[in-house]
Structure 1
Amino acid sequence: MTKAQHRPRVGIVGTGGIAHAHAEALKLAGAELVVAVDIDPRRATEFAEKVGVAQTAPTLAAAAETELDLVAVCTPPSSHAPLALEAMALGMDVVLEKPPALSLRQLRELQEAELATGRRVSCIFQHRFGTGARKLADLQESGVLGSPLTGFCNTLWFRDQAYFDVPWRGQWDVEGGGPTMGHGIHQFDLLLHLWGPWQEVTAFAGKLARRTETEDVSTAIVRFESGALTTVINSVISPRETSQLRFDYEHATVELEHLYGYDDSNWRFTPAPGQEHLAAAWTDGPASTPSGHSAQYARIIEAVSTGTVPPVTLADAWPTMELAAATYASAITGETVRRGDITEGNPFFDRADGRLEPWKLEKSPA
């Protein structure tokens, strides 16, 4: 750290599986891990011993007494927004795991709390920060690839019935949705990060193979303001697991296939006929930085230590959350939904299923 910087003091709230990824990334980024917060003292102690945190606390209020700069919220989704509101009121910045909120209303409330408290919220969308994504963004901005045209964005994962039998999973009021909200959101966040504002979406969703309140698969057609068209599949019933993105531009096709994170080896660049010189532009550049929590936390901790705005802001996350809400709205109502349609008074502004109980009358899969 330089003289203008200080080493941020960080607490981790919730000590389940994803908290370990946050702890490792925070340590690599140079943060000081001060306290682990969990309502289960035994679990908090076991986590603290494993990752090297000196203190534990049962509540955020108790953790705040250790003079934290930042808390990373790693709890089930329904508590993300309430804990972030509490942390900001206690004077701390916040990092939120996905999804940052269960609804656009909650996201708006978080934005209002930022303004009221002067604190900041960062949302974990770590695929934005790998070298490949940054390189593609730079090439796209330079104009050498031409206009975006078409492609696809597939999250094809597999979760068995036992996964959904965990009490808080697959429930609208706890997870905010199924694979559209909780799994595919990372992939289509990267899609939106690269291709800019989406314009409208037509979607279908269903409960095809799992006993769960929510969908287990959704499929959408998305039109962007640029005119580009893509399909987006979000599935947790696909035996061969993969995450795929394809970007077709006028002068090249760029493809990414990985599972839960990528490095440069997961990308493929194919110039259009007559554009073979572009291959060199793709291979040039800095050494590979894989996507992942570490890549994003390096930027977050740098920003917190210097008093600048950390990525990804709530405003940055809004288009992604809005597309998730619109996908549900289109699938449930059977109508095409345009960006900006889901506002105050729209049932999907408050809850992803619009409280319309989709698929309630369908026979549950065996």
Structure 2
Amino acid sequence: MLKVAIIGAGAISSAHIEGYLRFPERCRIVAISDLYVDKALGRIEQYGLDARAVEDYRELLREEIDLVSICTPPYTHAALAEEFMEAGSHVLVEKPMASSLEECDRMIEAQRRTGKTMSVVAQNRFRTPMMKLKTVLESGLMGKIGHVQVDSFWWRGHCYYDLWWRGTWEKEGGGPTLNHAVHHIDALLWMMGSPAEVQAFMGNVSHDNAEVEDISVAMLRYGSGSLGQVTSSVVHHGEEQQLIFQGEKARVSVPWKVKASNSRPNGFPEPNRELEERLQTLYDGLPEIEHEGHAGQIDNVLTAIETGAPVLIDGESGRRTLEFITAVYASASTGGLVKLPLDPQNKFYTRAGMQENATHFYEKKTSVDNFAPQEITIGSSYKKEE
């Protein structure tokens, strides 16, 4: 029975708690830590946990905690992960992995030094439509992918950035490119790999209480010559989110949709029903995931700890996602084309470099310690389009 501690009792902690509670024979939550201890007590009461509330997480470093979920703001991730791995705990850290590549590298080094398991949350990989789409892409039935489109559309009200750590380069580390589109970017890199070049633009069009962007648009070029575009936003009403892959022979996406074309003698398209049916049959025949979202990733981490198997989303994977996001910020802030991989000498490599060189749109005008507990949205279900 693995002993689990949750560090940070904010909104996302519920997804972790509910995930662990799916596996009562394998793990038990023994502590929840938060600077505001009443929030930790509230989570314990909410879920009827036999756990204790801890104000100072350092108390837990002296105890035998097998696995820690880090659910705190991004700027704290690296130090917490390092400390807990050094103390003997495995770590599941919320997205984004950290607020700089330098911090990611420190975390990866700590993981290698201690031999502990470290996984970075990217719960959308553990959704049936995502798993099915990756298999369809790997089948080769679509031919070479020529274009990919990622729409990470979210909407957040003006007061969203009133929370004390949000909306600053120092503590949040960025806007929706880092904190919302991270899931879609992770999926893109998982399915397509990293691009060779990034050219990006960003702006703040609706939140004058934040230093960071509320929308960015990135154009990508892969080594194969394929192109892509990624839009990251918290200004899109409706929050429609999708990944579309255009191949030589067909188009597929999440939410699931398949279209295939043949060429008429004059070059105009006509439907390729046979290929559409093959792709649909492949998709329909793939298995459903038993545990989805955070529960799926927690199952993966528990299995890794129990068996020694690798996790699906490790530190290197988390770092690649942050490298892409850093390239977007570097390009959008300087106006230049950015080539990947990024060099450690890049001025955006460290958190201090990001704060100094990233575009500051506005200064934060208001700051509140907490919002009243409310339900949050953590992503589309990626169900089939109707």
Q: Fold-level match, TM-score > 0.5?
A: yes
**With structure 1 as the length reference, what TM-score do the two structures score?**
0.89
State the match for 2:333 in structure 1.
332
| Shift in alpha-carbon separation, 1:357–1:330, aligned structure 2, 3 A | closer
Summarize deviations over 1:264-286 as a string: whole Å, max 9, x none. Answer: xx422223325233321121121
Shift in Å, 1:251 = 2.5
State the match for 1:37 in structure 2.
33
- Contact 2:69 2:91 (8 Å CA) reproduced: yes
**Counterpart amino acid of residue 91 in structure 1:** G
Return 80-89 or 139-148, whichever deviates more: 139-148
**Counterpart amino acid of residue 355 in structure 1:** E
**With structure 2 as the length reference, what TM-score do the two structures score?**
0.85
State the match for 1:105 in structure 2.
102
Aligned residues: 347
- Contact 1:14 1:38 (8 Å CA) reproduced: yes
State the match for 1:349 in structure 2.
349
Separation in 2, partners of 1:77, 1:268 = 35
Which among 219, 226, 229 is matched to residue 227 of structure 2? 229
Separation in 2, partners of 1:354, 1:68 = 34
Separation in 2, partners of 1:95, 1:86 = 13
Shift in Å, 1:66 = 4.1
Q: Does 1:68 align with 2:65?
A: yes
| Shift in alpha-carbon separation, 1:360–1:209, aligned structure 2, 3 A | closer
Separation in 2, partners of 1:357, 1:315 = 24
Separation in 1, partners of 2:354, 2:212 = 8
Separation in 2, partners of 1:160, 1:42 = 26
Alignment RMSD (CA, Å): 2.0
Shift in Å, 1:56 = 2.4
State the match for 1:286 in structure 2.
287
- Contact 2:124 2:293 (8 Å CA) reproduced: yes
State the match for 1:134 in structure 2.
131
Q: Does 1:268 align with 2:268?
A: no
State the match for 1:3 in structure 2.
none
Shift in Å, 1:137 = 1.9
Which among 40, 45, 52 is matched to residue 49 of structure 1? 45
State the match for 1:214 in structure 2.
212
- Contact 2:291 2:299 (8 Å CA) reproduced: no
Separation in 2, partners of 1:169, 1:234 = 17
Shift in Å, 1:360 = 5.0
- Map 1:1-366; keep pairs closer than 5 Å: 7-29=1-23, 30-51=26-47, 52-211=49-208, 212-256=210-254, 266-272=255-261, 273=272, 275-276=275-276, 277-287=278-288, 291-340=292-341, 342-351=342-351, 353=354, 355-356=356-357, 358-360=359-361
| Shift in alpha-carbon separation, 1:357–1:180, aligned structure 2, 3 A | closer
**Counterpart amino acid of residue 18 in structure 1:** I
Separation in 2, partners of 1:65, 1:117 = 16
Summarize deviations over 1:307-358 as a string: whole Å, max 9, x none. Answer: 3332311111222111100000000111111112x32221110137461252
Shift in Å, 1:304 = 1.3
Return 204-213 or 279-288, whichever deviates more: 279-288
Shift in Å, 1:297 = 1.3
Shift in Å, 1:289 = 5.2
Return 132-141 or 143-152, whichever deviates more: 132-141
| Shift in alpha-carbon separation, 1:361–1:188, aligned structure 2, 3 A | closer
Secondary structure of the 1:294 match is helix
Shift in Å, 1:178 = 0.6
- Contact 1:271 1:278 (8 Å CA) reproduced: no
State the match for 2:379 in structure 1.
none
Separation in 2, partners of 1:135, 1:119 = 30
Return 272-281 or 192-201, whichever deviates more: 272-281
Separation in 2, partners of 1:213, 1:290 = 38
Separation in 2, partners of 1:193, 1:353 = 25
Separation in 2, partners of 1:45, 1:354 = 34
Shift in Å, 1:197 = 2.6
Separation in 2, partners of 1:267, 1:17 = 29
Gaps of 5+ in 1: 1-6, 257-265
| Shift in alpha-carbon separation, 1:46–1:354, aligned structure 2, 3 A | closer
Gaps of 5+ in 2: 262-271, 366-386
Between the aligned residues of both structures, percent identity stands at: 34
Separation in 2, partners of 1:185, 1:237 = 16
- Contact 1:9 1:31 (8 Å CA) reproduced: yes
